[in-house]
Each structure stands twice: as C-alpha cells, then as structure tokens.
C-alpha cells in the first residue's frame, strides 16, 4: 500500500513547496505537443474517445439497475454513450464499506494513491480533451489544457493542501504534567484523522473536470469515499475519471467503490436526493446561484462548498497601452464564447471617456475600437472557432440572441461557421451599452458571450459600483485599468471590501479569466459567488476531523 506513496513523494514535496512560495509551477505540461506527449498520443486519444461512442460505459459498480445517457455535442453529433443508473442505497452502502481501510491507511498513503490517479489521467489527456470538447463546447486546445493538465494541476494542488492540513497535528504525543514533589502525570496520546463520510461532487457542463477535481481529490485524500454526479450534458469526462480512479484504488489494495459515478438523464433529481442523504457529509457544487443556495440551506448534515454565479466587473479609467488593453479585453470576452465563471461581464467606463497616450477615447470610440479588436483577434471563421468553441446550450444561445432588447448594441454578435462541424453553434460576443442607473440589466449574471458597456458619471463612481455590486451579488474576478496610482489603490480597497480577486492593467499574455494552480486562489469565499476558495485550508478542513485517544503511562 505504500508503493505509490514512495513513488510520488518527490511530486508531493514539490507541490507543497509551490503552495508555500506561490510562484509558477506545473506538474503537467499544458502543450498538446507530440514532443511532450508522444508522436502517437493525439491519434490514440481520439481513437480512445471514439471507442466510447454509441456504447455502454461499463464501470462494474454495485447497484446498477439500468442505463442512462443523452449527451449531445455542442458541435452537433450525439455521443450515444450510456452509463450505469444506480440504486443509491446499494451504492452508498458499498462506498461506506470501503471507507475503514482507506481511513486507516493514513494521509501519506492516500496522497500517494491520489497522485497516481492524477498521473494516469494525465496519460489520457488527449482522450479527455476530446471528451471535454464534445460535452462542453470548448475548442480542442482549450479542452486539452483546461480539461486536462490545468485540471490535473488543480487536483494535485487539492491533494497537497489536504495532506498538509491532515499532517499539521502529530500522530502521537507524550503529555507530561509536573506534580511538584510527586511523580508527574504522564499520558500517551494518539491523534487520528477521521473522514467525515461520503463526499458528493455535483459537476457542471462547461468545465466538467476543472471544476470537479478540487472537491473530488480533496475529499478522497482526506479519507472520504466520493460519489461523482456529473451534469447530464457532461458525463463522459467524469466517467473516464471515475474509471481510472477505480482501477488505481484496486491496484493499491483498496475498494473500488471509494469512487463511484451516479449519472442521470436531463430533468432528474438525483443530485438533490443525494445531497440530503445522511451518509453524505461533504458536497461540492458549481453552477447556478439558486441551486447553490438550495444546497447550502438543505444539506445541513454536510459541509457544503459552492461556486455560484457572479457579476464580474472591470473599471476602465486610463491606460498607457491602449492597443494592449483592447487586445487583452477582446481575448477575455472571446475565450470559450465567454462561458466561464471568470469572464468579465460589465465594463465600467466614465461617460467622458478614458485617457490614452493618444488622447481621450470617448465611449462610442472605445466601443468601436473594442469591436475592431475582437474582429482582428478572431479573423476568419476557421481561426475564430479555435478560440470561441461552441455555445454549450440553448439558454446561452437565447441570451445572445436576446441581447438587443437590453440596450444599444455597440458590438454586434455574428454567427460563425465551423469548417468541420456544420451544426456547431458558434457566436461571437455581443456588447451592449447601458447606463449605470440600469442595474436591472447589468446587475445580475448574464452567462455567455454577452457583455455590458456601463457608462458611469466618474471613475470613482465606477469603483463604488464595483464594491456595491460584488458585495451584494458576488463575483469571481474584477479588474482595473488606470495609470493613476490613486485609482489603482481605490480599486484594491474596493476589491478587499467586496472580497474579490483583482487584476490590474493586464495588457500581456495573462487574462482576467485565467487562474493558475499553486499560485492563484480561484474565488475567495468572501462574497456571495463562492463560500470557499478552491484548495485553500478552509476548502479541505471540513472534510475530516481529528479524533484522539489517550492513556496513562509510566
């Protein structure tokens, strides 16, 4: 049982060091290059993905009572994969039966096994990329990176944080209390990390692995069995994950049922049914505010970690690199058609415009320049689809098509034809101009490629709007562009008050909607968009308890 712990000790130590210094480090290369993953890796990964299509995904889980599955690629094709439908009573009982041996193995062994699972997932990154692409709508390179190595880095980060928190208390202690002239009172004490119970991971369709891996591996590394409940539109990537985890657990001498899959067709209630089960002690969820709040209210028996909707905002004041700012904003708005929880939605601009090295740019001019930057970035359709990907569902498409009713469209959306998938739903971003006194329009999340150019009376008022809106509605990201250090300081103060991560004057190859493992805290847990930051100490602390035993000794 210690083989994986020994084999991956160096990786775990390096991850712990990266967490301490917060500098750049990645365990898994993000480039889908044959020089990195092998000359045949791409073809083999595609073949492995295609081998799943139109078939049952066998997992040999207990309590299988039927088969479900209705995934359709945002690029057009139906996947035709079906997955086990579980008898929850049987499945949860099997998960609980597997827990004692996993608990007794201790943090180091659990961490080693978890790292081995992630390493094997990494070897199948091309297979995973195709699965993520055809469930989420991400373009292939993004699906490879975000669904593969970036998600794997987040998994390793969660494992390292879990290990650090579990080993903060020593396994044993000698307690000796002086008694003056009498012999001291001496006790031996043992401290054991005890898992809370079954963890439930409720997946989302846009980032099925990236958003699920932190909770999955944090719970598993802390000794909890994990039930993975994917979104009905994004099952395959997590089914592959569960299959690999079950394989590694069995090789390590533990019960496969420490990790199981619960799939359902659209419209089911399995997530809610599971969330309130007494056996479930940890719940992880990414998705809508309404359902996240329902979980927080009703899953009282569990530690609940949610990432919900937010209103991401950028304050525009001035810049010394106008072209760089426009390019950066265009990329952030276009990446995966804005279908990211970190994509900026509201661009707050003073009514008298923003200062640039070439003079003041008024609101109308800025809008025209932003539209031109988006057009230049996207280029021809065959190039544009590699950044935009496809629209994940009808609800997002409806928001794009209805944006014209919300204000003055200053950057119109257009339909893009995918050269390989004629049925793909691809749209460029739409930007709508509205006044600051219309929070009914811009004051709630409008998920997808819809952004609002919000005109304000001043930069200071824009900062106040940021503070007020994020405090009330939540956000995962915020940004400011200004050459005035007083404005930047004001933005920092507003971000601290509202509890949101801030990016300042980004004009290069880092974007507000990107988050780096081992360095960036994804979300803060300090505003309504999330109640915990991914992979900080609080994120793992509710997944285990320390139970002690003590006895007198001579």
Instruction: Evaluate whether 150 touches 171 at the Cβ level (below 8 Å).
Output: no
Residue 520 CB coordination number (10 Å): 13
∠ CA 82-88-89, nearest 5°, is 145
| Mean pLDDT across the chain | 97
3-21+39-309+537-552, CATH topology level: Aldehyde Dehydrogenase; Chain A, domain 1 (3.40.605)
pLDDT of the residue at 118? 98
What is the token pair recorded at 42?
């791409």
pLDDT digits (tens, 9 = 90+) for 106-145: 999 999 999 999 999 999 999 999 999 999 999 999 999 9
pLDDT digits (tens, 9 = 90+) for 412-434: 999 999 999 999 999 999 999 99
pLDDT of the residue at 1? 63
Instruction: Evaluate whether 366 touches 314 at the Cβ level (below 8 Å).
Output: no
Residues pairing with 356 in the sheet: 359
Q: What is the mean pLDDT of residues 442-451?
A: 96
Query: Alpha-carbon distance 536 to 519, whole Å?
Result: 11
- The answer on pLDDT for 398 being more than 70 is yes
pLDDT band at 362 (very low <50, low <70, confident <90, very high): very high
pLDDT digits (tens, 9 = 90+) for 246-293: 999 999 999 999 999 999 999 999 999 999 999 999 999 999 999 999
Q: What is the mean pLDDT of residues 223-233?
A: 98
Query: Alpha-carbon distance 538 to 554, whole Å?
Result: 39
Residues 6 or more apart in contact with residue 193 via CB below 8 angstroms: 103, 106, 107, 166, 169, 222, 223, 544, 545, 546
DSSP states along 189-229: EEEEEEE-SEEEEE--SSSTTTTTHHHHHHHHHTT--EEEE
pLDDT digits (tens, 9 = 90+) for 332-343: 999 999 999 999
Q: What is the mean pLDDT of residues 514-533?
A: 95
Q: Domain residue spans in the chain?
A: 3-21+39-309+537-552, 313-504
pTM: 0.97
DSSP states along 123-144: HTHHHHHHHHHHHH---HHHHH
- The answer on pLDDT for 554 being more than 80 is no
313-504, CATH topology level: Aldehyde Dehydrogenase; Chain A, domain 2 (3.40.309)
- The answer on pLDDT for 208 being more than 80 is yes
pLDDT band at 299 (very low <50, low <70, confident <90, very high): very high
pLDDT digits (tens, 9 = 90+) for 139-168: 999 999 999 999 999 999 999 999 999 999
What is the token pair recorded at 328?
């950066």
pLDDT digits (tens, 9 = 90+) for 494-506: 999 999 999 999 9
pLDDT digits (tens, 9 = 90+) for 40-81: 999 999 999 999 999 999 999 999 999 999 999 999 999 999
Task: Give how far the C-alpha of residue 469 lies from the chain's centroid of Cα atoms, to the nearest Å.
Answer: 23
Distances (CA, A) of 481 to 359, 430, 501, 503, 506: 15, 21, 15, 9, 8
Strand order in the sheet with 172-179: 172-179, 182-195, 544-552
Residues pairing with 349 in the sheet: 455
Query: Alpha-carbon distance 517 to 155, whole Å?
Result: 9
What is the token pair recorded at 132?
């993520």
pLDDT band at 2 (very low <50, low <70, confident <90, very high): confident
Query: Alpha-carbon distance 447 to 345, whole Å?
Result: 8
Residues pairing with 481 in the sheet: 316
Query: Alpha-carbon distance 22 to 146, whole Å?
Result: 20
Instruction: Give the residue among 422, 427, 419, 424 at the shortest CA–CA distance from 397.
Output: 427
Instruction: Evaluate whether 227 touches 197 at the Cβ level (below 8 Å).
Output: no
Burial class (CB in 10 A: 0-12, 13-18, 19+), 220: buried
Q: What is the mean pLDDT of residues 297-301?
A: 98
pLDDT digits (tens, 9 = 90+) for 468-492: 999 999 999 999 999 999 999 999 9
- The answer on pLDDT for 9 being more than 90 is yes
- The answer on pLDDT for 547 being more than 90 is yes
- Percent of the chain whose predicted confidence (pLDDT) is above 70: 100
Query: Alpha-carbon distance 149 to 210, whole Å?
Result: 9
Query: Alpha-carbon distance 253 to 268, whole Å?
Result: 35
């Amino acid at each position: 049982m210690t083989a994986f712990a020994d084999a991956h000790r160096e990786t775990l130590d390096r991850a712990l060091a990266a967490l301490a210094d917060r500098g750049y480090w990645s365990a898994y290369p993000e480039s889908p290059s044959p020089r990195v993953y092998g000359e045949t890796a791409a073809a083999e990964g595609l073949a492995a993905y295609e081998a799943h299509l139109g078939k049952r995904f066998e997992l040999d889980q207990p309590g299988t009572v039927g088969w479900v599955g209705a995934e359709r690629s945002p690029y057009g094709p139906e996947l035709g994969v079906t997955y086990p439908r579980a008898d929850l009573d049987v499945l949860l009982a099997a998960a609980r039966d597997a827990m004692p041996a996993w608990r007794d193995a201790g943090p180091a062994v659990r961490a080693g096994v978890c790292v081995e699972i992630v390493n094997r997932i990494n070897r199948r990154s091309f297979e995973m990329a195709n699965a993520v692409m055809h469930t989420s709508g991400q373009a292939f390179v993004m699906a490879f990176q975000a669904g593969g190595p970036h998600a794997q880095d987040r998994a390793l980060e969660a494992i390292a944080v879990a290990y650090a928190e579990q080993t903060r208390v020593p396994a044993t202690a000698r307690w000796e209390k002086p008694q003056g002239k009498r012999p001291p009172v001496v006790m031996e004490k043992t401290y054991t990390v005890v898992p809370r119970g079954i963890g439930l991971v409720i997946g989302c369709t846009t980032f099925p692995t990236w958003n699920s891996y932190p909770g999955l591996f944090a719970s598993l590394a802390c000794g909890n069995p994990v039930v993975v409940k994917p979104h009905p539109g994004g099952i395959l990537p997590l089914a592959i994950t569960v299959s690999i985890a079950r394989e590694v657990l069995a090789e390590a001498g533990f019960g496969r049922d420490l990790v199981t899959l619960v799939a359902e067709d659209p419209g089911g209630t399995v997530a809610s049914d599971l969330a309130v089960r007494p056996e479930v002690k940890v719940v992880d969820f990414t998705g809508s505010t309404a359902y996240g709040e329902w979980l927080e209210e009703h899953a009282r028996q569990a530690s609940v970690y949610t990432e919900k909707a937010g209103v991401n905002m950028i304050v525009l004041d001035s810049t010394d690199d106008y072209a760089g700012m426009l390019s950066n904003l265009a990329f952030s708005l276009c990446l995966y058609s804005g279908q990211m929880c970190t994509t900026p939605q509201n661009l707050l601009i003073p009514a008298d415009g923003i200062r640039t090295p070439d003079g003041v740019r008024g609101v109308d001019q800025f809008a025209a320049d932003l539209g031109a930057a988006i057009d230049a970035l996207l280029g021809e359709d065959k190039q544009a689809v590699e950044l935009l990907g496809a629209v994940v569902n009808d609800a997002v498409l409806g928001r794009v098509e209805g944006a014209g009713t919300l204000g003055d469209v200053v950057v119109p959306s257009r339909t893009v034809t995918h050269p390989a998938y004629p049925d793909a739903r691809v749209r460029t971003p739409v930007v709508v101009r509205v006044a600051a006194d219309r929070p009914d329009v811009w004051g709630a999340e409008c998920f997808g490629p819809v952004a609002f150019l919000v005109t304000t009376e001043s930069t200071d008022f824009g900062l106040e709007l940021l503070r007020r809106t994020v405090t009330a509605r939540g956000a995962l990201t915020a940004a400011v562009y200004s050459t005035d250090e007083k404005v930047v300081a004001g933005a920092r103060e507003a971000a601290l008050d509202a509890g949101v991560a801030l990016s300042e004057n980004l004009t290069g190859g880092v974007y507000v909607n990107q988050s780096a493992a081992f360095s960036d805290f994804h979300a803060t847990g300090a505003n309504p968009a999330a109640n915990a930051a991914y992979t900080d100490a609080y994120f793992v602390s509710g997944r285990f308890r320390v139970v002690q035993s003590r006895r007198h000794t001579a």
